[in-house]
Amino acid sequence: MAKYKINMSGARSVYDIHEKIQEGLKFPGYYGKNLDALWDCLTDMDSPVEIHIYGTRMLGKEMNDFFTESIIKIFDEVKAWFAEAGEKFEFTICEEKYN
């Protein structure tokens, strides 16, 4: 199982959030840093996948709203997409400190 960690600490913009995702999930340099590119790269991952996301409590309200309403929505949709294929895609928002 491929395991990944995303550290959202320090993200202050939508661009920063995508940068943190790209870094944590080891997306290629051509990752478009938008929601369509996120979907494409997530669905290109080999299953099973386990992702732990840290530092979301440090996001400001506006970035936390974007993260919850957009990024988590995509992750949920990708999880369902993998499940339909009988494959595993899991992610958790971790409260403990990133390590």
What distance in Å separates the CA atoms of residue 75 and residue 82, rounded to the nearest whole number?
10
Whether 70 shows a pLDDT value over 70: the answer reads yes
Residue 87, SS3 per DSSP: coil
pLDDT for residue 64: 84
What distance in Å separates the CA atoms of residue 24 and residue 65, rounded to the nearest whole number?
20
Kindly report, residue by residue over 10-35, the tens digit of the pLDDT. 899 999 999 999 999 999 999 999 99
Highest mean pLDDT among 9-13, 38-42, 95-99: 38-42
Question: Domains plus CATH for the chain?
Answer: 2-93 (3.30.370.10)
